[in-house]
Amino acid sequence: MAWQYPEGGRFSIAVPGDEDIVKDVETFFGGELARYNHSVYWEHCSYVVFFFSTMSDAEKCIEQFNGEWFDPRDKGRGSHWSKWYKGKTAKRLSRRRPYDFG
């Protein structure tokens, strides 16, 4: 099965905070948003990940709530499911050679 973006949109934003920030973000955008039902952690700080269908809404979230771009492929697997390996996918893609198709 090929990797796909989560439902809710292809623009993923990680907002620092816990479940309390969810109400503020959803109030700002005027409704319930698509998001992971758990937090991800990077350097012992929790982040809530929201998904947006438009780039403009994602950028508003970054500006208003100090969010960061999030690549869902950087989320941990197995027993490390709540970890955020920030930038892992970008680093891997930058090391590719022009004729790597795998």
State pTM to two decimals: 0.77
| Count of beta carbons in the 10 Å neighbourhood of residue 60 | 16
Give the model confidence (pLDDT) of 37-76 as tens digits.
Answer: 788 998 889 999 999 888 999 999 999 999 999 988 888 8
Whether the per-residue pLDDT at 99 is higher than 80: the answer is: no
Whether the Cβ atoms of residue 15 and residue 67 lie closer than 8 Å to each other? yes
Domain definitions of the chain by residue range:
11-86
Distances (CA, A) of 4 to 26, 40, 66, 94, 102: 24, 19, 26, 20, 16
